[in-house]
Amino acid sequence: MLNLKFFPYSPRKGQREFISFIQENLERCKSFLLDAPNGFGKTPCLLAALLPKVEEGEKIILWTVKTGMEINRPVEELKKIVSKTGEEFFGISYRGKKDMCLLIEERKLRGLTHEDANFVCAKYRNKCRYFNFSPSEIVDLTEKPLTYAEIYEACKQRKVCPYFAQRHLACYCNLLSLNYNYVFSKRMRWAIKTLVPFSECILVVDEAHNVERACQSLNSDKITLEGVRRALEEVKSYKLALSREALEFLEYLEETFSSFLPRVAKGEEILFSLKTLLENFFEDAFEVESLMTELKSYGNFVRTKRFEEGKRPASSLHKLGVFFLESLESLGEDENGSGVTFFLKKLSEKNLELERWDMRVAPHLEALWDEFYSCIFCSGSLKPFDAFSEVAGLRDSLSSSFPPPYSEENIAFFITRGVTTKGEELQDEMAREYLEFLRIFFENVEANSAVFSASFRIQEKLLENGLLRLAESCGKKVFLEREGMSGIEAQSLLEEFKSCSRREKNCLLIASSTGRFSEGVDFPGKELGAIFLVGIPFERLTLRTKVYISYFRFLYGKRGRKYAYVVPALRRASQTFGRALRNPQDKAILIAGDERFCRDEYLSLLPSWLTSWPVALDKHEFSGALKNAVEKLKL
């Protein structure tokens, strides 16, 4: 039964079992939950498992990823399979108009959102010189798998729209790789459904532990007081003939939001009743809908004008109209169980934001999974399976865990006794205890390392107590992730760290488990030989966290707290530890720096490859254990 025809490597530990598990059950099972650790080789294994079904001419692989950076991986793997087997599989990675529009590049417009790019195309497509092309101009592009950047370049040379060329190519695909949004978002889904019938697709959800957050972030949105002021400015500067009610509503909104400025502390979040705000102004929902549609339509006029002026086609009027229209849907429901909450947060002395936070996952997604021939959810931190299934709205899934390519020879895992980040704030005394452990860590581990803190607040506390000085005095070259770093700053810090760590072995990354480097970034080989995680990355018990736990309790009873609060924290910890292990040859010392990790309730939620050999140590045992580990792992 096992078919390895499309596996271009010699199978390693667990890979045969992984492939045959899918192949044996694909006919009879609707959804799979596969837990396989970092470095397992999930991408080639999944392709090898599914391509025989594709070869029969029956199914299309719809591969979804969390971020654009991961979108090319399956296409690159497919290229290897095609070159090795000579089989004529075709696949592409797929991007939105923001990245695939030649008109936007021609006009040198920067910082456009997907919404802006869609607007530009909808408005100017008929005049766009790239829009009309014959399929014969791109037919040769179906000869081999292509990344979206390759499609873009080929189309640019031919003066053909890359976005619409890509849509045409998608109809020939055996593999289509795209962002979660194209499947999870109701609004965007149709764009893909019109190309590939979902009933013919095997859906792969890569890094599936992200499903919960991705779905919530897609359905949530924000507006600001500044945005309301800008909307009023737009009315003046574009001399818009808004109805009297619409103008009065904008003024009412500005006045209401402004009245909260003196009442809320900077950075503080409070619950806000959008229902009351609207009921105080409107007679009924029909009136709201009609006024918001008016704002949206004037907003579109502003967007057109701005584009013609060579500016980004954005409008605050449009933004407000969309926000309220989309929020209306959630207002009729019972407050406890609606799963949608509104938060008001003060950003500065003059500005605040109103956020619609949609916590629902299963209600948005459960019917979606049934549309596919089959769904495969894969990740290195998917367990516990029952929690994942229930939260994502899955029924009757087949689940399995696969062993890591590592053994005791690759990993030393320690839990530190006598330190914890439990409590509202990390006290100075406890911070100094942590620094004592870190001093021993720095002095004994001569390898590129990382200190990840459970939050930026904890990192700040360690810095205040001398973490930087300590690291430098131990000869470490420090690379520090700061809270709020831009994507570009973070990328450049990452490149500096990686380049230095390939040459030297004293580099130290100081970062947060809630930051940009604890997930989705690989540090193979010598780039990272040891990780010290300070604390368990629980969400802070803010009003928001309490609301979340309470909603999950409403849905799942006693299991609610575990699903909403405990599981996500331990998943974050697993992801953080996984940074140092990407290949079977990688070796690492991993330190769970919080005595609460000893509790079964938490330890059982870490992956088994990590917890097979846990050793709990106090300060006095730590140095000796590290020395032995360094020697054993030959770091």
Q: Where are the alpha helices (DSSP H) in 125-196?
A: 148-158, 162-170, 181-184, 186-193
The nearer residue to ligand SF4, 162 or 393, going by C-beta atoms, is 162
The nearer residue to ligand SF4, 116 or 539, going by C-beta atoms, is 116
b/e burial code for range 130-157 (CB count within 10 A of at least 16 → b): bbebeeeebeebbeebbbbebbbebbee
Least distance to ligand SF4, CB of residue 545, Å = 41
Task: State the Cα–Cα distance between residues 57 and 200, nearest whole angstrom.
Answer: 10
The token pair that represents 318 in the structure block: 């449009």
The token pair that represents 594 in the structure block: 């919080």
Least distance to ligand SF4, CB of residue 167, Å = 10
Least distance to ligand SF4, CB of residue 170, Å = 15
Cis peptide before 145 (omega within 30 of 0): no
Least distance to ligand SF4, CB of residue 315, Å = 19
The nearer residue to ligand SF4, 120 or 352, going by C-beta atoms, is 120
The token pair that represents 397 in the structure block: 């899934």
Contacts of 262 (CB under 8 A, 6+ apart): none
Binding residues for ligand SF4 (CB under 6 A): 97, 101-103, 120-121, 124-125, 128, 130-131, 161, 163-164
Least distance to ligand SF4, CB of residue 129, Å = 8
Backbone angles phi, psi at 419, to 5 degrees: -130, 145
The nearer residue to ligand SF4, 98 or 482, going by C-beta atoms, is 98
Task: State the Cα–Cα distance between residues 44 and 81, nearest whole angstrom.
Answer: 9
The nearer residue to ligand SF4, 166 or 174, going by C-beta atoms, is 166
Least distance to ligand SF4, CB of residue 169, Å = 14
The nearer residue to ligand SF4, 164 or 452, going by C-beta atoms, is 164
Task: State the Cα–Cα distance between residues 317 and 298, nearest whole angstrom.
Answer: 7
Task: State the Cα–Cα distance between residues 398 and 29, nearest whole angstrom.
Answer: 7
563 DSSP 8-state letter: I
Least distance to ligand SF4, CB of residue 349, Å = 41
Task: State the Cα–Cα distance between residues 513 and 569, nearest whole angstrom.
Answer: 10
Task: State the Cα–Cα distance between residues 268 and 344, nearest whole angstrom.
Answer: 8
Task: State the Cα–Cα distance between residues 192 and 188, nearest whole angstrom.
Answer: 8
The nearer residue to ligand SF4, 162 or 321, going by C-beta atoms, is 162
Q: Is 33 helix (H, G, I), strand (E, B) or coil?
A: strand
Least distance to ligand SF4, CB of residue 632, Å = 57
Beta strands in 498-601, from DSSP E residues, in sequence order: 507-512, 530-534, 588-593
The nearer residue to ligand SF4, 78 or 92, going by C-beta atoms, is 92
Least distance to ligand SF4, CB of residue 191, Å = 12
Look at the chain and count its residues. 635
Rounded to the nearest 5 percent, the helix, strand and coil shares of the chain are 50, 15, 35
Longest dimension (CA), the chain: 78
Least distance to ligand SF4, CB of residue 131, Å = 4
Backbone angles phi, psi at 185, to 5 degrees: -90, 125
The nearer residue to ligand SF4, 130 or 357, going by C-beta atoms, is 130
The nearer residue to ligand SF4, 160 or 302, going by C-beta atoms, is 160
Task: State the Cα–Cα distance between residues 177 and 378, nearest whole angstrom.
Answer: 15
Beta strands in 76-174, from DSSP E residues, in sequence order: 91-93
Contacts of 272 (CB under 8 A, 6+ apart): 342, 343, 344, 354
The nearer residue to ligand SF4, 61 or 102, going by C-beta atoms, is 102
Least distance to ligand SF4, CB of residue 101, Å = 3
Least distance to ligand SF4, CB of residue 107, Å = 10
The nearer residue to ligand SF4, 163 or 402, going by C-beta atoms, is 163
Task: State the Cα–Cα distance between residues 515 and 521, nearest whole angstrom.
Answer: 11
Q: Locate tokens 């009743």: which residue?
A: 273
